[in-house]
Structure 1
Amino acid sequence: MVSIRTDLAVEAKEIYEEKNKGKIPGVEMNEFRDGFIKVTDVKIVSDEGEKIMGKPKGNYITMEIPELTGYDQEYMEDVSRVLAKAISPLIKLDDSMTAMVVGLGNWHVTPDALGPKVVEKLMITRHLKQLIPDSIDEGIRPVCAMAPGVLGLTGIETGEIIKAIVNKIKPNLIICIDALASRRLERINRTIQIGNTGISPGAGVGNKRMEISEKTLGIPVIAIGVPTVVDAATIANDTIDLVLDEMIKHAKTGGKFYDMLNQLDRNEKQRMIEEILNPYVGNLMVTPKDVDSVIDSVSKVISTGINIALQPALELKQINSYLN
């Protein structure tokens, strides 16, 4: 559809509508606020919408959150509860069914370590249900988790590892967590996307791997992602657009130079920037300098949200007591 890299459905919709000055057929959108969090529900309902968006038919829920700070525990728990509220309708399990959480990404690379860090903070109960069922609270669902690494570390496709484990332990649901790519700087580390169509690891940075979805695994797959990087060419393009907008705004009417600037095709400009940058920096992806602390905070928010959604019989205090 476009050359700008993004994993977010809401951005894919924005890009198309900016270019074509109209709504996408077969795509429905609903925006609302849950407390201080803006939630956007993008639903792809037709084959035409699927083709235009470049994403499978299904639901893509986007939460836009203010900047997270690790010391504001109450604030982070509020975000986790909104996340749990978005995930819960997608989890169709009874107490005997098993959920498997998969933390995708490379734990040696901070912007890509979101998935493994979430797994570290989860309430894992499958072994407790099997070994000491009388010693745990009633209504606790069996949950297991894994962080399979990436192809460059293991030499094995991530999807192949997950499929082998699914065939062995036969979970009823998979929740995948992965770092994503965004087209806008303001969404980096401040957006959470929840989808019910699975995920293709590495797609946002041009390393598309085996799809992890109900089609490939035979069970429902919920994908949770946070954009942690943005394409350098997109930053350059947006910066130039801001400069041009300011120049055009303050220009005298009738100037041929400013008329020419106003008529520039922004997608063509994006391709030109990529061609200029590639010989010098390659496919450079950029992340904020405070990514270490932010990933720690975001991973805690997501793990807490998943714990709440997977264990509805427990209060958050009880969940925390199991983790401690």
Structure 2
Amino acid sequence: MRRSCDFLIDSFIDKRLHPDVRTILRLGTYQLHWMKIPDHAAVNDTVSLAPQWARGLCNAVLRKIAQEAPEWPTKAIEHSYPDWIVERLETDLGTYEAEEALKCMNRSKSAISREDGYYQDATSQLVSDLLIQEGSWGNGLIVDICAAPGGKATAAASHGHPVVAADSSFKRLQLARSNSLKLKLELPLVVSDGTNLPFRKGQASRVIVDAPCSGLGVLRRRADARWNIKEEDIVVLADLQLKLLCSALSMLKPGGLLIYSVCTLTNLETTGVDERFRELVEVEQVTPVSAPWRKHGAGGMILPQDLDSEGMCVFCYIAK
């Protein structure tokens, strides 16, 4: 809640603050307005952290913050997001759903243990369920081309399916290796550029592309990411996602299942990529319409507030 805290602090002081003093004031402001700690306790404990020369200032500012209800000028400041994220989600989701998602992603989250003991967010488990579902594609090889840290690949392997986990990052792929060892699973690992896979074409029954994305559905887990991602990055990511999908499709046997999932909520990376993909290639669409997935274009979406979880979008295809 850095931006929100700074707005409240700057409402009562107009001079440049020493970085350490600002940090201390942020701690106190957060306790007062979001943790609901009693005023006297929050103020006294916070002031005690300040250097002697700044204690009078910290005491005065925090007492003013405690006494006056904030008047937020924008939703972005109230919920502590960059302006562009709020504007983008309001455009793509609508004002109400966007604000509910933004509020939900400011709350702490917890993962859920799978049957095998692996902790994974509920929406990621739902994507894994789509991957391991039985269908006309059979029970042959499953390839996860953006596998690290291995949540979906280990879910499939734990159900007895033959799985190969590929990722472009050797370092991140070691997380998948560590997780598979903990679960006592056989999981072959391949360091590979997902847009130029080193596998023989047409050999997989199922391929999943859990693609790199802006991550705007998982900001409760990666709170600092909102300040690192730029709006122009989304265009670059959408182009990469399309390349990954086209590469993944070449891996599939006719009738094979292709799953595209992203933990973001922007249309450009979800329905936009889906539409561009289907303009380039010929596939049969399979839509996950059952609850808790919301219909999202030709695919499905779960917003953070739906399950008090991470946000996720998914699209399923059958190769021809």
TM-score, normalised to structure 1, is 0.29
Structure having greater relative contact order (Cα 8 Å, sep ≥ 6): 1
